[in-house]
Structure 1
Amino acid sequence: MTSTLFPPSLDTASAPMRLADRIAQQLAWSEDEFEAHYADPSLLAELVNWVGELGTAAAAGDADAQFAQQYLLSRIYAVHTQLPSGPTAEGSVALHAVTRRLEQDTIRNEDAWIDEAVYASIPDDPDAFVPWLKALTREHQAFKHPYYRSFIRDHATEEDFRRFVLHESSVDGRFDDLLALMQVGTDGGVKLEIAQNFWDEMGNGDPAMVHTTLFGRLIDHFGITSTELAESLSTEALLSGNLAVMLCRYRNTFAEAVGLLAVTEWLAPDRFSQVLHGWERLGLPDDGITYHRLHIGIDAHHASAWFTNVVKPMTADPRNRRAIARGALWRLNTSSRYLDRIIGLNAAA
């Protein structure tokens, strides 16, 4: 992977992250500055082609390329989901071309993890879809992953919990924003269910109980800095967060987002019960576990209501059934790889 976009000293052939980070820095340019820099069609084509080469290398298993790909996508998503303190390239057409290539390659890579035979097993009867999806989830490694059922529950140290919270920030830290993005364009019972879920995330109007505020207490308890949050996530954690943002921000992947959120909500109560057990085993401050304690009960209700009020009404359309299954499998597969990875990080620490 060579490039003339930046000086040869960047050595992009051996360190794709260096070029990814340079592009990430350009996100702080204004839209006009970014457009002017890539006004030469050949330069923009070279940039998009490099991103494509990055995706090809990532699909082939190149760990450096996988990280650079997801790091760059996460930095771009931050431009689209966080209020800026200065100029950004958010509206740039050139940036959109880069973003779409990153997204398309990520989608292609995740689809490659799915056995097409699973789609053939989707029931024709819409009423049978939810039981089928739950059975599919129960059979997946991610359903009762040993990271939660054994490691966090019975063996994790306080430092292991710190690492857990750091990586969970990729999704849990802004779950309310995902719901806000997701509800755009919906109506009826589906919109009301998303709204109820969102209002619960808002602490039902109590600022002290807003779930992002509660998660922030965990961040503060462990002294995790904004620099760590931006720079210390694994490829798998970045991917998990990126997939959630991608599916929730685009209207044509709404059904995939429904599947991803269905699995997320359904797995959360059991997972968080193990987190609570491990937290109490270590005698850590009770105030730090409020977020997970609340979600044990809340997400059990959300999962049931989500299947009833969002998933089930969509299953009359066979295209929705396939898309919901696709999003659920993306969540299960990435969760499994993420948890395998974090167990490895703990073992290596």
Structure 2
Amino acid sequence: MQLPPPRGPLTAWLNDRLTHSDTTSGDVPEVGVRELPYADDDLQLALWVAYELQYRGFDGVDAERQWDSAVIAFRTRLERPWIDWLQATCGVSPDQRPVAEQLRALIDSADSTDGPRFAPYLRRHATREQFREFVLNRSVYQLKEADPHSFGIPRLEGAAKAALVEIEADEYGGGRPERMHSELFRTTMRWLGLDDTYGRYVPDVPAVTLALSNVMSLFAIHCRWTGALLGHLAALEMTSTLPNRQYATGAIRLGASEDQARYFTEHVEADAVHEQIAAHDLCGNYVRQHPDALPDVLFGAHCALTLDNLFADTLLTSWTTPPARRCG
């Protein structure tokens, strides 16, 4: 994968740092305070590039740059406004109920106006081009599906660890490469005429799409956020079944075969089971082992719900807002 073209001074500095063998670069740009960091293209792309060094890296970038102290310090500066906004927007005060009940209550009461409209729109109204845009955006994460949450495995023990491994094993196809969820998603991409190369559409997607991936990587890379990583996964699993059923219906309406829609139908079946494992066996056991982690678990879940709704709002607005009239 090539480094994506910069979108501003942050990504320009980072790309320069990563590609110069003498490790020299110009003055580090000021990150500043951003009111809506999830919508900041330069910030989110710079974070995505910095995090990707922990996954597959980039062509022409020395693998040792993963540990470049200047890059790590820069990433830390990028994270500060991002974490501040997430905590201010998605912080949750826990109560005495079991964590599974609190997760369900959080999902049921999430301040969401566009998330619930998104899946029905794709099922009933989306054109093939709109469905293609949806899949293109989702490819940024889905082609490495489960990888961020797998960072949590070595940090867990006992029943919580077993639960996470059970979920992740299904995501990776249970030992069958062709059943890996990322591979099923590639089949859907090819149906829509999309390039299924890993990271291909990073240069084309808006900041909020990168933010969906970046919040997972933030929680994955930092041990401090292990509880949030588990809560994030639980929220994904607990809100997956109904939307994916509607995505499958929409894909078939637009001409997809059973195989081409299998990514969505697979999640209808798998996540109905994963929901219970994630809420009770994973988060429930983890909080029993680490009672102080409950606020982080709920925080991670709320981050997942909030960013997914912002992503839905971005696409729905672009699809349903009439173009501005020209004057004269």
Give the TM interval when normalised to the shorter protein.
Answer: 0.7 to 0.9
Pairing partner for 1:92 from 52, 58, 68: 68
User: Which residue matches 1:10?
Assistant: none
Q: Any idea what the Cα deviations from partners look like across 1:181-236, whole Å, max 9, x if unmatched?
A: 12122221122112112211221111211111111122222232457512111111
Rounded to whole Å, the distance in 2 between the matches of 1:130 and 1:62 is 28
Q: Distance in 2 between matches of 1:270 and 1:144?
A: 15
Structure 2 residue aligned with 1:7 = none
* Alpha-carbon separation, structure 1, partners of 2:249 and 2:67: 46
Instruction: List gaps (5 residues or longer) in structure 1.
Output: 1-15
Secondary structure, counterpart of 2:202 in structure 1: helix
**Residue ranges of structure 2 left out of the alignment (5+ in a row):** 1-5, 324-328
Partner SS for 1:123: coil
CA spacing shift, 1:149–1:217, aligned 2, 3 Å: closer
**Is the Cα–Cα contact under 8 Å of residues 211 and 307 in structure 2 kept in the other structure?**
yes
Q: Which residue of 1 aligns with 2:139?
A: 169
State the 1:25 CA deviation: 2.4
Question: How far does residue 320 in structure 1 lie from its aligned partner after superposition?
Answer: 1.1
Q: Distance in 1 between matches of 2:80 and 2:22?
A: 26
| TM, length-normalised to structure 2 | 0.87
Alignment-derived partner of residue 12 in structure 1: none
* Equivalent position of 2:303 in the other structure: 330
- The residue matched to 2:193 in structure 1 has which SS? coil
CA-CA distance at 1:161 after TM superposition: 0.9
Separation of aligned partners in 1, 2:121 and 2:270: 24
Residue 250 of structure 1 pairs with residue 222 of structure 2: yes
- For 2:109, the equivalent position in structure 1 comes to 139
- Per-residue CA deviation, residues 93-132 of structure 1 (Å, 9 max, x unaligned), is 0000111111222111112213x6x41xx2235xx33212
> What CA distance in whole angstroms lies between the structure 1 residues aligned with 2:114 and 2:285?
28
Query: Is 2:245–2:268's contact at 8 Å kept on the other side of the alignment?
Result: yes
> Distance in 2 between the 1:75 and 1:345 partners?
26
Shift of 1:246: 1.2
Give the C-alpha shift of residue 60 in structure 1. 5.9
- Whether 2:147 is the aligned partner of 1:158: answer no
Give 1:335 deviation, angstroms.
Answer: 1.2
Contact 2:114 2:312 in 1 (8 A): no
- What percent of counterpart residues are identical? 21
Classify 1:212/1:311 alpha carbon distance in 2 versus 1 (closer, same or farther; 3 Å).
Answer: same
Counterpart selection for 1:216 from 186, 210, 228 = 186
Query: Would you say the 8 A contact 1:27–1:90 is kept in 2?
Result: no
For 1:52-67, list aligned pairs within 5 A.
53=32, 56=33, 58-59=34-35, 66-67=40-41
Query: Of residues 172, 176, 179 in structure 2, which corresponds to 1:202?
Result: 172
Range moving further from structure 2, 262-271 or 131-140: 131-140
Aligned-pair CA distance for 1:282: 2.0
CA-atom RMSD in angstroms: 2.4
State the distance in 1 between where 2:146 and 2:96 align: 34
Amino acid at match of 1:154: R
Contact 1:181-1:248 within 8 A present in 2 as well: yes
Distance 1:268 1:61, change over 3 A: closer
Q: TM-score, normalised by structure 1?
A: 0.82
What are the equivalent positions in structure 2 for 1:1-349 lying under 5 Å apart?
17-26=7-16, 28-29=18-19, 33-34=22-23, 37-38=24-25, 46-47=27-28, 50-51=30-31, 53=32, 56=33, 58-59=34-35, 66-88=40-62, 89-114=65-90, 118-119=92-93, 122-125=94-97, 128-142=98-112, 145-225=115-195, 226=197, 229-316=201-288, 317-347=290-320
Aligned residues: 312
Distance in 1, matches of 2:37 and 2:286, equals 36
C-alpha distance in structure 2 between counterparts of 1:23 and 1:266, whole Å:
39
Measured at CA, do residues 278 and 141 of structure 1 come closer, stay the same or move farther in structure 2, by a change above 3 Å? farther
Kindly indicate whether structure 1 or structure 2 has the higher relative contact order, using CA contacts under 8 Å at least 6 residues apart.
2
Q: For 1:36-85, what per-residue CA distance to the aligned partner results, in whole angstroms no more than 9, with x for missing partners?
A: x15xxxx6xx51x612x1xx1x226795xx11100111112222211544
Query: CA 1:83–1:156 in 2, change beyond 3 Å: closer, same or farther?
Result: same
What is the identity, as a one-letter code, of the residue corresponding to 1:190?
A
